[in-house]
C-alpha cells in the first residue's frame, strides 16, 4: 500500500474538507500539521512517502530535498504554481507533479483580506483594539478613504477586484505593471501611470503582481522614498516583492505612515522581527487564500488528482 502525506495542514481542515475515504483502499493517509525544516527534518519525516499533497508553497521542494526522498513518485500542487518546487529535479527523478487546482475558480478571498488590511491600517484598528484592552481610549486619528488614491501594483484578476471595491469607496484608482496597457486599465475604469507616478501619487499602495526574478524587490528604498509620508503600503502578494529592510527603515523613520502585511521575506515571520514591534503595522500570517471555501476547493481537487494518478490518468501535468 502506498503512503500519502498531506503537508502543512496547520488548521486541521484537510480531512474535514474532502472525502479522502475514496483513496483509503490504495493509500495509508497521514496528516502533517506543522512546518518541516528543509531539507534535513523534511527528508527524515517524508522519506517513507510515495505521495505528497501540498497546500500552496508552504513546504519548499528543492533538489537537495527531492534527492533524499527515494520513495517519492507523485506530488499534488494547489494554486497556480509552486515556485519553490524544483520541477527539473522532480522530472529527472521521474516524480509526477500534478497541478490539481487549475480548474478551481479564483475567489475574492485575497482582495477581501487586502481591504481588511487597508481599513485596519487607515483607522489604526489593531492598535486601538490593543489600547482599549490596556485601559486607554481613542489614541489616534485615522484617514478617510473616500477621495484618496488607491495605487495598484498589478491589475490582474485580484487587482481588478481591488479596483472595483475602491471605486465603491469613492477612491481614485491608478495602476502600473510592466505589461499593463492604457486600454486594459481603462476597461476597468483605472488610469494607467508610469511606475514613479504610481508611488508618488499613492495614498494606499496595494501590491498584486506575481513573484519572479523581475519582480523581486520591485518595491525598494528608491520606490518607498517616492511615497507620501502619510501613505500606506499593503502587500498580500509575496513578501520578496518588497525589500523588507527598506520597508522597516521607512516605517521606523516615519517616511511612511503604516503598512498592512500578509506576506514576508521569510515565513513564518520570526517573533523577534522588527515589524512585530511596530504599532503602525498590521500583520497577518499569509491568510490571503486561507478561507474555508478556498481550502476545501484545494483539498477536493487534491483527492480527485490523487485518484486520477492512481487510475493511471494524472491531470494538470506541465
Residues assigned a catalytic role: 238, 267, 286
Bond before 169 cis per omega within 30 degrees: no
* Of residues 300, 254, 318, the one with CA closest to residue 55: 300
Bridge partner list, 151: 174, 205
Among candidates 146, 144, 78, 138, which has minimal Cα distance to 289? 78
Give strand pairing partners of 206: 152, 234
Instruction: Kindly state the cell numbers that stand for 185.
Output: 486599465
| Rounded distance between C-alpha atoms, residue 289 and residue 187, angstroms | 26
Rounded CA separation 18/26 (Å): 17
- 27 — phi, psi (to 5°)? -135, 145
What are the Cα distances from residue 123, in Å, to 8, 36, 205, 241? 34, 37, 16, 25
- Taking the C-alpha atoms of residue 194 and residue 198, their distance in angstroms, rounded to an integer, is 6
Q: Are 239 and 267 in contact (CB under 8 A)?
A: yes
Q: b or e along 275-308 (b: 16 or more beta carbons within 10 Å of the residue's beta carbon)?
A: beebebbbbbebebbbbeebbbbbbbbbbbbbeb
How far apart are the C-alpha atoms of 315 and 293, rounded to whole Å? 22
Amino acid at each position: 500500500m502506498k503512503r500519502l502525506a498531506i503537508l502543512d495542514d496547520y488548521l486541521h481542515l484537510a480531512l474535514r474538507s474532502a472525502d479522502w475515504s475514496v483513496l483509503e483502499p490504495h493509500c495509508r493517509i497521514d496528516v502533517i500539521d506543522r512546518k518541516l525544516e528543509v531539507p534535513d527534518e523534511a527528508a527524515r519525516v517524508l522519506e517513507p512517502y510515495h505521495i505528497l499533497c501540498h497546500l500552496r508553497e508552504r513546504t519548499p521542494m528543492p533538489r537537495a530535498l527531492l534527492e533524499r526522498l527515494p520513495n517519492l513518485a507523485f506530488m499534488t500542487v494547489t494554486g497556480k504554481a509552486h515556485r519553490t518546487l524544483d520541477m527539473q529535479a522532480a522530472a529527472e527523478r521521474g516524480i509526477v507533479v500534478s497541478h490539481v487546482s487549475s480548474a478551481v475558480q479564483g475567489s475574492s478571498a485575497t482582495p477581501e483580506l487586502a481591504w481588511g488590511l487597508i481599513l485596519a491600517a487607515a483607522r489604526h484598528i489593531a492598535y486601538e483594539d490593543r489600547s482599549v484592552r490596556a485601559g486607554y481610549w481613542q489614541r489616534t486619528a485615522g484617514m478617510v478613504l473616500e477621495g484618496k488614491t488607491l495605487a495598484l501594483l498589478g491589475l490582474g484578476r485580484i487587482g481588478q477586484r481591488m479596483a472595483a471595491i475602491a471605486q465603491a469607496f469613492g477612491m481614485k484608482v491608478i495602476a502600473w505593471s510592466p505589461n499593463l496597457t492604457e486600454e486594459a486599465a481603462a476597461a476597468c475604469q483605472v488610469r494607467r501611470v508610469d511606475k514613479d507616478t504610481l508611488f508618488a501619487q499613492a495614498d494606499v499602495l496595494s501590491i498584486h503582481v506575481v513573484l519572479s526574478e523581475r519582480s523581486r524587490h520591485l518595491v525598494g528604498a528608491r520606490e518607498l522614498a517616492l511615497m507620501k509620508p502619510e501613505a500606506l503600503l499593503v502587500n498580500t502578494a509575496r513578501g520578496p516583492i518588497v525589500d523588507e529592510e527598506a520597508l522597516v527603515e521607512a516605517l521606523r523613520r516615519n517616511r511612511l505612515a503604516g503598512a498592512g502585511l500578509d506576506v514576508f521575506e521569510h515565513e513564518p515571520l520570526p517573533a523577534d522581527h522588527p515589524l512585530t514591534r511596530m504599532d503602525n503595522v498590521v500583520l497577518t500570517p499569509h491568510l490571503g487564500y486561507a478561507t474555508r471555501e478556498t481550502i476545501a476547493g484545494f483539498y477536493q481537487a487534491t483527492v480527485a488528482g490523487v485518484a486520477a494518478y492512481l487510475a493511471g490518468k494524472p491531470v494538470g501535468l506541465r
